[in-house]
Structure 1
């Protein structure tokens, strides 16, 4: 939650808000970002009271809960992807080299497209075993 107070001038209108001198108004984050640093305003970010344990616990737990499933979902998707020869032939050099690196290879050691494709097909089979 954010607040802004007009400290210079009589009135100021911005983004649908009309401010009067010395009047504190609740504002949205985008309005706060716009007004913060403006010499005519005193802008503050209002934090939740420290003695409200419910809000503090929710704030601390949510990011951790959100992060763990994402990490768990992303890694298996990368490991499970098995490329077919036709998929690899349709890729450009940069995409193929990225896959070679992911499989632990050095693309500079592979001379051409066919060697990159062969390397990927062989090494993804070994990784799957």
Structure 2
């Protein structure tokens, strides 16, 4: 089992997870490998089996190669309006940040959704 805690910033969205400041969240191994070493996160691996050769003495360089392999796979997700309406404010703000926007510029949900729909189309081009 792996966990991550956002220790800098307000929100962070990665690989389908939305992290809020100082809230521990259980994550998958690939997300752990991606975030481990990121100064914005405190990542932990719990319940490590002692006889698992994959985790014993694994050098830091391997983390780098895993990160390089996984980054290209992480393409921008295209959200529909109904998906966005089903999200809470924090999740919408995390997407706005990922698209390069400032969540404080928007007064309400409809402005955030409009921004996301417009800018994800531009990012996909």
* TM-score normalised by L of structure 1: 0.47
User: Larger C-alpha radius of gyration, 1 or 2?
Assistant: 1
* TM-score normalised by L of structure 2: 0.48
Task: Compare relative contact order (CA 8 Å, sep 6+) and give the higher one, 1 or 2.
Answer: 2
Relative to its length, the structure with more helix (as a share) is 1
